[in-house]
Amino acid sequence: MIEFLYTNAWGAFIVLLMFQIPFLIVFFHIVNKKAFTDSAPSKTKPEKYSAYRYGWTVLVLVAFVVVNGASIKYMPTVVEANAATDKNVKDVEVTAVSWAFQFSENEFNVGETVRFKAKSTDTVHSFALHHPDGHLLFTMMLIPGAGSESALVHTFTEPGEYTVRCLEYCGIAHHAMKNTFTVN
């Protein structure tokens, strides 16, 4: 479950709702009550306000720490750093230029771990790898002259046709900047 939350963009959507729905319920409840059913000043004691204040701040802090702490393991940057010395990782060079991608290799096997090393030679592009079902596995921004090429590893677990797209607007044929490769 935790793995799904951090490795699929719909996981982000679920966490989004977990924050938003309680907020909406409390907010509308209080506004409704104090605007329509009982707008008289409340008799709540000052100590109670400050208890709520501390409770609420601590709750938010804990939630933020947990959500981010649990995410560290799934950061593509951490995965890439861990794979730095792994000899079994296959390096693939990618060059992005308006409006095409060139790969040094474009056929992979299920179970293979590939390091995509990408750079742009003209303007800002990105290398975005879409799963065959359409969702985004990861994207790397490529700014020309960045000093080093962007690099991330990905282990293919499912066969199919993967699509690489540019997600940084790069001119009048930006949408045509895509390419596919197969995983057997």
Instruction: Read off the tokens for 153.
Output: 């590893």
Q: According to CB under 8 A, which one of 83, 115, 137, 180 is a site residue for another protein? A: 137
- Binding status of residue 85 toward another protein by CB under 8 A: no
Name the binder of 19 from Cu ion, another protein, none, CB < 5-8 A by kind: another protein
Calpha distance 41→23 (Å, rounded): 23
x/- letters, 24..53, toward another protein (CB under 8 A): x-xx--xx--xxx-xxxxx-x----x--xx
143 and 162 Cβ atoms separated by less than 8 Å: no
**Per rule CB under 5 A, is residue 130 in the interface with Cu ion?**
no
Does residue 94 bind Cu ion (CB under 5 A)? no
Q: Which residue lies nearer to another protein by CB, 84 or 109?
A: 84
Task: Select the span of 59-67, 83-91, 108-116, 162-170 touching Cu ion (CB under 5 A).
Answer: 162-170
- Which one among 2, 3, 4, 12 touches another protein, defined by CB under 8 A? 12
Can you list the alpha helix ranges (DSSP code H) found in 45-120? 46-71, 76-82
Near another protein by CB under 8 A: residue from 86, 107, 122, 158: 122
User: How many residues lie near another protein (CB under 8 A)?
Assistant: 83
Residue 153 binds Cu ion, judged by CB under 5 A = no
Stretch that binds another protein, among 85-93, 101-109, 117-125 (CB under 8 A): 117-125
**Are 15 and 67 in contact, with CB atoms under 8 Å apart?**
yes
Q: Which residue number, 5 or 120, has a Cβ lying nearer to Cu ion?
A: 120
CB proximity list for 109: less than 8 A, separation 6 or greater: 156, 183, 184
Pairing status of strand 178-183 against strand 107-108: parallel
What distance in Å separates the CA atoms of residue 142 and residue 168, rounded to the nearest whole number? 9
Contact between 125 and Cu ion per CB under 5 A: yes
User: Which residues are within 8 A (CB) of 93 and not within 5 positions of it... i.e. 6 or more apart?
Assistant: 103, 104, 117, 118
Residue with tokens 């393991």: 73
Q: Kindly state the DSSP code that residue 158 receives in the 8-state scheme.
A: S
Which spans of this chain sit near Cu ion (rule: CB under 5 A)? 125, 166, 170, 177
